[in-house]
Amino acid sequence: MRNRSVLVLLAVALAAAVALTALYRGARLLSPVSGTPRKVVVIFKTVDFPLNPFWANVRDGVASAGQDFGIAVSVRGPAVETDVPGQIGIVREAIREKPDAIVLAAADYNLSVPTAREVKSHGIPLVCIDSFISSDDADVRIGTDSYEGGQKCAAALLRYVRPGDLVAIMSYVKGSSTAIDRESGVRNVLGGKVRLLDTLYSNGDADLAYAQAARLIGRTPDLRGVVALNDPTARGAARALDESGKGASIALIGFDNSLLVLHYVERGIIRDTVVQKPFNMGYLGVKIALELIERRRPPRFINTGSVDISRSNMFQPENQKLLFPVSEGP
């Protein structure tokens, strides 16, 4: 009998020990405070935020998501957008830190593929935001549906021109995926309704866009519409149009929303601009990265959408935040 009670005592002690250990571990797992938070590295095309309000807005979305979901986010990127090797180096460095996930805005559609593959080969979930890559290495792509954005530009233009009018498309980087998609969206809507001139490429340079637009306006008296497919191109074109004094007869549609572009919208030089939702890209990038870390199955592509902004709706409450972001970083 004595043996039995000793056995019972031992069993109880053992059970208590096991239960306590389980509880302790459980409590640690349950509480994000005590455990080390998830680490997500977010790599932009550029981190020169004062010059790139778009990316500042993406950063705010990233920071908000980090706060909302208790994730340690680290935002990095090269100083200038064109520094593709610089971004590749930053991705490699991030891989070495073994984060729980990487969110990447690819600097180049093709050149960024090998680094993306490297990220995957280290078993790190990869989310691409804004700018994607030619391979399907990204687990999830989050960004504006560029084709749809192009369609919106064209639809806006059709409100100002008549069928058969002469219209020019001013694109930015020839071969850039978003440029191709935006242009085909525009052509999809305009095709057969207006006469389209050969597409011009500004290489994303506002000055070159200005020169191209000035020449185009000067040489083409019956030009009635211009679609400029990114922000610097729209700025350049707007300046040329403003100086030509033909703002009333030529409808200019832009893309994105730098303050300068918005100012031209307010003045009516740029009739409409299609704006993206960078904050949501950043926010969803981190949120979806967390879903991947937690092995849930988010959709492969998330369209953050775009909005057609004109002088009449730019100060509506729901658009003010989109157009004039207030930095909300913690």
Question: Contact residues for other proteins (CB under 8 A)?
Answer: 1-2, 4-5, 8-9, 12-13, 15-16, 19-20, 23-24, 27, 30-31, 33, 61, 64, 67-68, 70, 259, 262-263, 266-268, 277, 279-280, 283-284, 304-305, 315, 317-318, 320-326, 328
Q: Which long-range contacts (CB under 8 A, 24 or more apart) does 298-301 make?
A: 298/139, 298/140, 299/140, 300/139, 300/140, 300/141, 301/140, 301/141, 301/142
Token pair 């690819």 in the structure block, residue: 106
Considering the complex, state which of residue 3 and residue 175 has its C-beta at the smaller distance from other proteins.
3
Q: How far is the CB of 319 from other proteins (least distance, A)?
A: 8
CB closer to other proteins out of 13 and 79: 13
In the complex, minimum distance from the CB of residue 51 to other proteins, in angstroms, rounded to a whole number: 16
Question: Among residues 16 and 79, whose Cβ is nearest to other proteins?
Answer: 16
CA neighbor of 318 nearest in space, from 300, 330, 302, 305: 305
CB of 251 to other proteins, least distance (A): 18
- Whichever of 221 and 317 has its CB closer to other proteins, that residue is 317
Q: Which is nearer to other proteins, 92 or 263 (CB)?
A: 263
Provide the minimum distance between the beta carbon of 48 and other proteins in the complex, in angstroms, as a whole number: 20
| CB contact at 8 A, 27 and 60 | no
Q: Least distance from C-beta 150 to other proteins, angstroms?
A: 21
* CB of 302 vs other proteins, minimal distance in Å: 11
Nearer to other proteins, 15 or 72 (CB): 15
> Cβ(274)–Cβ(50) under 8 Å?
no
- Closer residue to other proteins, CB minimum distance, 5 or 36: 5
Q: Which of 85, 116, 81 is nearest to 102 (CA)?
A: 116
Q: How far is the CB of 25 from other proteins (least distance, A)?
A: 11
User: CB of residue 149 vs other proteins: minimum separation in angstroms?
Assistant: 16
Comparison of 59 and 224: residue with beta carbon closer to other proteins? 59
Strands 126-129 and 71-76: unpaired
